[in-house]
Structure 1
Amino acid sequence: MWLGLINFLDTIMKKTFINDVKSYIHRAIAHLVAVVLRKGAVYYPDNFRLWESKGYHITPVDFYYPVPDTRELMKNHPRPNRTVPGIDFRPEFQHQFLTEIAPQFAHEYNAFPLTKPTPHKSGILPDNTFYIENDAFVGIDPHAYHVMIRHFKPRTIIEVGAGNSTLLGSQASRLNKHTRYISIDPYYTYTTSCPSHSKERSCGGIVESIQHNVEDLPINFFKQLQKNDILFIDSSHVIRASGDVCFLILEILPILEKGVIIHLHDIYLPFDYSKNLLVNIHYFWTEQYLLQAYLINNPTVEVMFGSKFVLDRYRDDVKRTFPNIRDYDGSASFWIRKC
């Protein structure tokens, strides 16, 4: 027994030593690269193309570039006097949704499994594959999505960005019996892990997967959405030239029919993006700012529900309505409707 313990500790120490050496080498290389870049290498177009071909963008700390100086953010983000003028967050409706509409489906969302279900012997997960302790669609967000689907009973849902939301959304759609669920994602399709590859009774329901960049789809594709249908957006969250965020907010949202319900994920309104997200995780998202500009004094759209808003204003009601949640503060869904 002692020999086994000694061998185990020896292995751990060797791994720790190797990891420490690797970490030291990486830091040394990073310092060396920084010295070289100070001599102007970052400004050479050929170097930019070389680094880009290897999967990296190296840019100066400069106000002309979109990556902020995190040292400044440490001092002044978020601004304490930040305001959100020109947007009616409709607190009465949000409270009604939270305390009157959502509880009608409590017996359904309270049945969500806490952890990942055990696969059948066939290797296929059971129909109810969404579980609360996933790493992406957390807090009250999946519960609100479930309620939106079950209460408004959309005939069509177009989802941009597949993932745990697909598991949840297709499951709720199956309960409606008539809801068509279309999922768009360039990197992953939920049907590839199922017995066949066009339409699958998996992930809790029928999913039609489109493995494509959403910004390359024709605008008319989104005109099929009618009153009470849902456009569920979980985008790259970054404003970039010819990118998905600009396409969706500037070209798609304005042409949607009255009554279409729209979701955007990782939206902190009425607050700013968190300091932790920017300074520690280094996600420099900008989608929220374009959405805020779209909403200001816009008579064609109304706010329906914001996770951050209700958690700030009605936290006790949130806990009463959605009691089986471990991480409330991870919530970041934002719902609007064309009107």
Structure 2
Amino acid sequence: MSRARLRRAGLGLSTLLGIRPGGFLIPYRHAGAARAEGYPALRPIFVEAEPAFRAVLAAIEAHAADLDRIRAGGPGLVGERPARFTQDWFPRLDAAAAYALVRRERPARIVEIGSGHSTRFLAQAVRDGGLPTAITCIDPAPRAPLAGLGLRHEARLFGPADAEAAASLAPGDVLFIDSSHVAMPGTDVDRLLLDVLPRLASGVIVHLHDVFLPDAYPESWAWRGYNEQLMVGALLQGGGYAPLFSSRVVSRWPLGGVLARLPLPPGAFETSLWLRKRRGAPAGSIESERSREAAS
């Protein structure tokens, strides 16, 4: 048995025996009949957004020289361990789109929940664009070291104070979510999607990672227990967020230019989903809700 399987077995036994929670057990007697399938009813949302996706591809190509420099490990790379494409955590399309969107949108603030290789590309875009962008990363254990990237790293789990800070983002700012991907009461996904997103201002840009929509999660990921994209699918149906880019969708298009030159490790999944909160979409706050209650 592999080390990873042994670790999962240990977490499962610890949870089942009530020793220490290592995950979530959801009793469901028909679990054996459940089969993950795609979501064809969501496809029109992505088809309608194709002009926005192509605009991001154009932005990527506009920065081809910089992306080629990153690929080659050339001069001017930021951090003790700079951004690189030879990894499968945040591969090709995900990395190139993040870089291009930061350069195009020029956010004043980026709040990132879950950090690592993505952070390196965000920081590199800020440096190359000469942007005054402030990056705050919240992650107890980033997947890749962040030293020398010129940002603030909070080494802890996402909490209530962070929810307030994220909800205060201004139009054009970025909320970059790559968290636990587990939607259970009290998890970061629960608080971000059901508490923070409703309070965001119109024009705030939201990134969500490991989103395979309009497809199901791959069978090879079943052991992870991810269910975040079920909530994301419902979010898309509401119409309050306009899709800007889907790596999953675009990865199936014929790609040329710089994207054809960037390496993609075998078996890597490209799964970034970028959204922008639409103008006129409701944005509330705890204070305004209390005011309404007091007036009633």
1:336 partner amino acid: L
Structure 1 residues not aligned, in runs of 5+: 1-18, 31-41, 118-124, 195-201
Mapped partners of 2:272, 2:166: distance in 1: 21
- Residue 104 (structure 1) shift: 0.8
Instruction: Name the residue aligned to 1:301.
Output: 241
1:269–1:188 CA distance, 2 compared to 1 (3 A): closer
Instruction: Name the residue aligned to 2:199.
Output: 255
Mapped partners of 2:64, 2:199: distance in 1: 34
1:320–1:218 CA distance, 2 compared to 1 (3 A): closer
Of 12, 31, 42, 1:84 maps to 42
Of 185, 191, 202, 1:241 maps to 185
Conservation of the 8 A alpha-carbon contact between 1:231 and 1:260: yes
SS for the counterpart of 2:251 is helix
Mapped partners of 1:218, 1:131: distance in 2: 29
Cα offsets for 1:161-207 (capped at 9, x unmatched): 1111111111211223311111111234988x75xxxxxxx13xx11
SS for the counterpart of 1:140 is helix
- Residue 93 (structure 1) shift: 1.7
Cα offsets for 1:200-227 (capped at 9, x unmatched): xx13xx1111122213325331243212
Instruction: Name the residue aligned to 2:91.
Output: 138
- Residue 87 (structure 1) shift: 3.5
SS for the counterpart of 1:111 is helix
Q: Trace 1:1-339 onto structure 2 (pairs within 5 A).
A: 50-53=17-20, 56=22, 62-63=27-28, 68-69=31-32, 72=33, 76-78=35-37, 82-84=40-42, 87=45, 89=47, 90-98=49-57, 100-113=58-71, 129-177=82-130, 178-188=132-142, 194=147, 202-203=148-149, 206-278=150-222, 282-298=223-239, 300-312=240-252, 315-316=253-254, 318-323=255-260, 324-327=262-265, 330-339=269-278
1:48–1:247 CA distance, 2 compared to 1 (3 A): closer
1:88–1:297 CA distance, 2 compared to 1 (3 A): farther
Moved over 4 A (4+): 47-51, 55-60, 125-128, 188-191
CA-based RMSD: 3.4
1:131–1:57 CA distance, 2 compared to 1 (3 A): closer
2:110 partner amino acid: I
Conservation of the 8 A alpha-carbon contact between 2:180 and 2:189: yes
Mapped partners of 2:211, 2:24: distance in 1: 27
Instruction: Name the residue aligned to 2:288.
Output: none
Q: How many matched pairs?
A: 265
- Residue 152 (structure 1) shift: 0.8
2:263 partner amino acid: I
Mapped partners of 2:270, 2:139: distance in 1: 22
- Residue 288 (structure 1) shift: 0.2
Q: Which has the higher contact order (CA 8 A, sep 6+)?
A: 2
1:249–1:51 CA distance, 2 compared to 1 (3 A): same
- Residue 275 (structure 1) shift: 1.7
Mapped partners of 2:248, 2:144: distance in 1: 29
2:241 partner amino acid: V
- Residue 255 (structure 1) shift: 1.0
Structure 2 residues not aligned, in runs of 5+: 279-296
Q: Which is greater in Rg? A: 1
- Structure-1-length-normalised TM-score: 0.68
2:257 partner amino acid: R
- Structure-2-length-normalised TM-score: 0.77
Conservation of the 8 A alpha-carbon contact between 2:212 and 2:271: yes
Conservation of the 8 A alpha-carbon contact between 1:159 and 1:232: yes
Mapped partners of 2:187, 2:24: distance in 1: 20
